Amino acid sequence: MDKQDFLVARKKLGKTQKRLAEILGSSTKAIQGYEQGWRFVPPHVERQIFFLLSRRRQKGGTIPSPCWEIKKCPPERRKQCPAWEFQAGELCWFINGTICECQAQKNWKEKMAICRECEVLQALL
């Protein structure tokens, strides 16, 4: 997540820097740093931002179809995927170890590169 993505997300959430810092358990200086680009957005903060955005989006709408239906995953792949195991198909982007693009990604950065382009996360944002 770059500085512009972070700023847009904060504005979509309708939060001041101070209030978002409180929600994230961070400091206002950290939020300013993310938005100015002199601090990188750590994975745990990015994950929380996407979670908050997804909950805001779902508040008045319907819960989307699970990822395994959207991506048409075969039963063999579903059984290996933690999103299916925990019946969290709308939160697949939140869970490490999901079988996206036919393999589990090694780290958060690789995973989010795929998730940002995926229709499951895009539908929530």
Statement to judge: residues 49 and 74 lie in one domain: no
CA distance between the termini of the chain: 14
Containing structural domain, residue 114: 67-124
Q: State mean pLDDT over 67-82.
A: 90
Q: Which helix (H) or strand (E) holds 90?
A: none
Instruction: Kindly state whether residues 51 and 78 are assigned to the same domain.
Output: no
Is residue 79 domain-shared with residue 97, that is, in the same domain? yes
CA 71 to chain centre: 17
Furthest-apart CA pair in the chain: how many Å? Answer: 47
Domain end position, chosen among 58, 77, 104: 58
pTM score of the predicted model: 0.73
pLDDT grade for 58, boundaries at 50, 70 and 90: low
Confidence band, pLDDT 50/70/90 cuts, at residue 61 = low
What phi-psi label fits residue 123: left (phi over 0), alpha (psi between -120 and 50 degrees) or beta?
alpha
DSSP string covering 83-120, please? HHHTT-TTSGGGSTT-EETTEE-SSHHHHHHHHTTSHH
Q: At residue 52, does pLDDT exceed 80? A: yes
Give residue-wise pLDDT tens across range 27-47.
999 999 999 999 999 999 999
Which tokens in the block code for residue 53? 């955005």
How many separate domains does the chain show? 2
**Strand pairing category for 99-100 and 103-104:** antiparallel
Q: 73 and 30, same structural domain? A: no
pLDDT at 62: 61
- Provide the pLDDT for residue 37: 94
Q: Band the pLDDT of 63: cuts 50, 70, 90.
A: low
